């Protein structure tokens, strides 16, 4: 079984690639723009340096692939507000390149799209579930929702097997809590280790 992990040098991607490489043949496609520092992947994992915005690169990466895990993304919310075109180019056009290449590949058993909790915007109730209305408040949230909708549309139109995942606060021991992209859990863990009070905004009931 051969699996392609896009964004496989980032936090989520390295976790997935390492775990999957224990029983499957894993290839990582990453442009190395936001790779996890000070971490080396297992030698069993094949690494391709390339950008999902380039269709020819994507097409070559998909050769002989059975499963696609699309975890590559522009994840900087503030940058998406400053430069929505850059955000859309990465998150929408990149996803479309993968979907289109997968559609023409004919042998893809599953296309797994990693969406984001940002698609919900300000929650109208908590805990948020899959039925909660989607109302993104940033170009990033909108681009991730658009990628999700495109994935589902490719399933309806072309029968491409698709799964969309909406992760919340992913964490692991590999995270740097000082990284601006790290979630609240890693920051809380660091504060606990330093015997510092937890930084909680508001009453802590919001998400």
Same domain, 77 and 162: yes
Same domain membership, residue 154 and residue 123: yes
Domain span at residue 187 reads 175-207
Kindly state whether residues 143 and 198 are assigned to the same domain: no
For residues 101 and 183, membership in a common domain is answered with no
Would you write out the chain's pLDDT as a tens digit for each of its 207 residues? Answer: 999 999 999 889 999 999 999 999 999 999 988 766 556 788 899 999 999 999 999 999 999 999 999 999 999 999 999 999 999 999 999 999 999 999 998 789 999 999 999 999 999 999 999 999 999 999 999 999 999 999 999 999 999 999 999 998 777 776 666 666 556 766 676 677 778 787 777 766 655
Q: Exactly one of 120, 140, 150, 154 is catalytic; which is it? A: 140
140 given a catalytic annotation: yes
Instruction: Compute the C-alpha angle 43/67/14, nearest 5°.
Output: 40
d(CA 117, CA 59): 29
Do 136 and 51 sit in the same domain of this protein? yes
Counting the structural domains of the chain, the total is 2
């Amino acid at each position: 079984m051969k699996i392609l992990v896009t964004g496989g040098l980032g936090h989520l991607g390295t976790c997935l690639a390492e775990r999957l490489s224990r029983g499957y043949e894993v290839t990582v496609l990453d442009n190395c723009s936001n790779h996890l520092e000070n971490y080396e992947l297992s030698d069993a994992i094949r690494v391709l340096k390339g950008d999902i915005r380039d269709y020819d690169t994507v097409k070559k990466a998909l050769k002989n692939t059975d499963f696609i895990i699309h975890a590559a993304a522009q994840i900087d919310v503030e940058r998406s507000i400053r430069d929505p075109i850059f955000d859309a180019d990465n998150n929408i056009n990149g996803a479309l390149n993968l979907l289109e290449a997968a559609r023409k590949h004919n042998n893809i058993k599953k296309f797994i799209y990693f969406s984001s909790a940002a698609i919900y915007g300000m929650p109208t109730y908590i805990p948020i579930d899959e039925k909660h209305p989607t109302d993104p408040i940033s170009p990033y949230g909108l681009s991730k929702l658009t990628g999700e909708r495109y994935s589902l549309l490719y399933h309806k139109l072309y029968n491409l097997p698709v799964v969309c995942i909406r992760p919340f606060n992913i964490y692991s021991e590999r995270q740097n809590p000082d990284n601006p992209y790290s979630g609240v859990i890693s920051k809380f863990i660091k504060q606990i280790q330093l015997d510092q009070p937890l930084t909680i905004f508001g009453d802590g009931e919001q998400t």
